[in-house]
Amino acid sequence: MYNASKDQLNNLIYSLEQIQEKFLRNYGVDDIFSNSKFYEIIMANELEHDAIPGHSGSRDARDNEGEYEYKHFKESSSNHSWTFNDYSETTIQSLEEVKAVIFAHIDDRYFPPKFDWYIKVDGPTCSKYLRNRTEDLLKRKPKGRENARKMINFSALQLENDLNLKKTIVQTTNKNGKYSADLQEITNISTTLEKLTNISQILTSNKIWEFLVSLDLNHIVLSEQSGHDAKDISGNYYEYKVSKNRSWNFQDISDNVLNKYTKEKTIILAVVDKQKMQVKEIYGANPNLVVKRLKEKLQEKTQRFKQHNRQLRRLQVSLSIGDLQRINATKLSK
């Protein structure tokens, strides 16, 4: 259903896997195509930093002066600011220990994405600023209630005005950086993949993993604007959830999102080996039963939080291997 045979497409995926293996062997960094790691490597290359292994919860890069926290937003994003998903005391204090926080802008309208400007805030200053802004937010309660999600956004204008800082413009791409040759090779492969599949920005978000699953199911991955993840040759639509283990996360499950799920033919739950870039298992589940189970688990989670006098920060639950029978899931592949 793509403009190439499965063998051709799998050969390109194998080339990406070989690059990822080289990153692990040479730099100790793996799973470079998940979450924001790819953007972090682009940033580290420009700033002549060393990327640090790991994803959420770890520092992003280091040099001989210390470690750095990276925050970025993309030009294509509807939110042109940097988000702290957690402003707990632990987060605030941990920022004191970093050399600096890099607040970056990524122009992702083209590929490869360009890291074109940033604002650098030293760690202690950023920690103090986050504390002050958080205390102000809690006092003001701009929506008339406490911010249950414990999230806060910083804009470039706020950092410039409040901290008297200026943007640093990245004038030219660093073609002699530590990761330059690998990034160029990744760019060449992804460009070819995009032409053969019509999947734009295939290495952003979860597109590459959805693409791997679609090859096994003879589906076509759709653009984010379509409102669906994939469709089959008959025009049926599918929601994909891809995980590296048998636990599939459903975030921000509002009524609108749940209603959207019921319009899918099947909810696809896949397990992938992100290091080897291989699909391990695929299950198909009844959308109505998935929605019913998500509502049940959300209600159970809400009750648990109430019992412990805790606030539910996000409408987020996971389905696990133990839920498969309850949602009438059928193994489709592997």
* Chain mean pLDDT for the chain: 89
Q: Check residues 29 and 289 and name the one with the higher pLDDT.
A: 289
Q: Which residue has the higher pLDDT, 111 or 45?
A: 45
Question: What number is the average pLDDT over the span 228-253?
Answer: 94
Common-topology check for domains 6-169 and 205-333 = yes
d(CA 243, CA 121): 34
Overall average pLDDT of the 297-322 stretch: 88
Distance between CA atoms of residues 62 and 44, nearest Å: 9
User: What average pLDDT score do residues 17-34 get?
Assistant: 90
How high is the pLDDT of residue 314? 77
Residue 143 scores a pLDDT above 80? no
Cβ atoms of residues 43 and 110 within 8 Å: no
pLDDT band at 149 (very low <50, low <70, confident <90, very high): very low
Share of the chain above pLDDT 90, in %: 67
Per-residue pLDDT reduced to its tens digit, 170-208: 998 899 999 999 999 999 999 999 999 999 888 877 889
Going from N- to C-terminal start, the domains of the chain cover 6-169, 205-333
Q: From residue 124, give the alpha-carbon distance in Å to each of 45, 59, 96, 148, 319.
A: 25, 15, 4, 26, 39
Of 65-69, 84-88, 277-281, 317-321, which gets the smallest average pLDDT?
84-88
The full 3-state SS of the chain, as one line of letters, equals CCCCCHHHHHHHHHHHHHHHHHHHHHHCCCCCCCCCHHHHHHHHHHHCCEECCCCCCCCCEEECCEEEEEEEEECCCCCCCEEECCCCHHHHHHHCCCCEEEEEEEECCCCCCEEEEEEEEEHHHHHHHHHHHHHHHHHHCCCCCCCCCCCEEECHHHHHHHHCCCCEECCCCCCCCCCHHHHHHHHHHHHHHHHHHCCCCCCCCCHHHHHHHHHHHCCEECCHHHCCCEECCCCCEEEEEEECCCEEEECCCCHHHHHHHCCCCEEEEEEEECCCCEEEEEEEECHHHHHHHHHHHHHHHHHHHHHCCCCCCCCCEEEEHHHCCCCCCEEEEC
pLDDT tens for 34-62 read 767 889 999 999 999 999 987 555 689 99
Please tell me the distance from the alpha carbon of residue 268 to that of residue 107, in angstroms, as a whole number: 31
- Please check whether the domain covering 6-169 is classified as CATH 3.40.210.10: yes
pLDDT at 164: 96
Q: What is the pLDDT of residue 140?
A: 56
Domain 205-333 in this protein, CATH class: alpha beta
* Residue carrying the six token digits 């002549």: 48
Tell me the per-residue pLDDT of 241-261, one tens digit each, with 9 for 90 and over.
999 999 999 988 889 999 999
Query: How many Å apart are CA 318 and CA 201, to the nearest integer?
Result: 27
Round to whole Å and give the CA distance between 146 and 137. Answer: 8
Identify whether the C-beta of residue 241 lies closer than 8 Å to the C-beta of residue 249: yes
